[in-house]
Amino acid sequence: MQIENAVALVTGANRGIGLAFARELLARGARKVYAGARDPVAITQAGVEPLRLDVNKPDDVAAAAELASDVTLVINNAGIGQPGGFLAADSEDVARRIFETNFFAVLRMSKAFAPILKANGGGALLNVLSVASWVNGGELAAYSASKSAAWSLTNALRNELALQKTQVLGLHMAYVDTDLTRGLEVPKSSPEEIVRRALDGLESGLDEVLADELTQQVKQGMTAARPSYLPQAS
């Protein structure tokens, strides 16, 4: 789909990758950008329509769908993470909390906006996933599992929404320089670069964007003799 004249909604648009999406959408000529945030006061970007939207609250999602009935592009960006392995004492609670935002809220948003996208000609759904959809080293165990589930959800939605001509794009990337990765001493992409690649892919009609080299290597390695999701010899 083309961004020019599109009406977009971005979840978690007050900071990080979501804010970069809102800015780039405006720069590419989107007609309107609804900037979803738990606290709309946190939206300081000029030119967007602030929208109260805690994706974990069904009432917020229903109200957003009522108000933003002109949307042609939904970007499910809001997400949370927490370090820790599955053998940690609190791992079930952590996993439930993370799945609530990274999986169930994406499902809730997609269901709420599918009829709106259909009514507006098909449009597109862009889900922000991760290289962690494919590898789980155990340090971010529940986060990775939630992104695997969200990847599967994205693949299912692509098939279900094909009937109404909605493009569904899964965006995968490794570390990006945002609050989520603050303190991690690893190579990071800028949010702006990731977003440019994602929207280039969307405008080219792609189903999937692998937005950095590490992600491309991991994906390629899935079918290697020793696949990338197994521990690699050091």
Given the rule CB under 6 A, which residues bind ligand NAP? 11-12, 14-18, 38, 42, 53-56, 77-81, 101, 128, 130, 173, 175-176, 178-181
d(CA 106, CA 227): 28
143 is catalytic: yes
Considering beta carbons, is residue 3 or 35 the nearer one to ligand NAP?
35
Q: Which of 34, 143, 175, 229 is catalytic?
A: 143
Considering beta carbons, is residue 80 or 119 the nearer one to ligand NAP?
80
Contact 60, 54 (CB under 8 A): yes
CB of 209 to ligand NAP, least distance (A): 12
The tally of CA atoms less than 13 A away on the side-chain side of residue 106 is: 30
d(CA 225, CA 234): 16
Considering beta carbons, is residue 67 or 119 the nearer one to ligand NAP?
67
Considering beta carbons, is residue 123 or 191 the nearer one to ligand NAP?
191
Query: Can you say whether the dihedral through the CA atoms of 9, 171, 27, 19 is positive or negative?
Result: positive
CB of 128 to ligand NAP, least distance (A): 4
CB of 206 to ligand NAP, least distance (A): 17
Considering beta carbons, is residue 88 or 180 the nearer one to ligand NAP?
180
d(CA 51, CA 34): 6
CB of 10 to ligand NAP, least distance (A): 9
Q: How far apart are the first and last CA of the chain?
A: 43
Contacts of 54 (CB under 8 A, 6+ apart): 38, 60
d(CA 29, CA 231): 45
Torsion of CA 229, 140, 112, 119, to 10 degrees: -50
d(CA 25, CA 76): 14
CB of 77 to ligand NAP, least distance (A): 5
Q: Tell me the catalytic residues.
A: 143
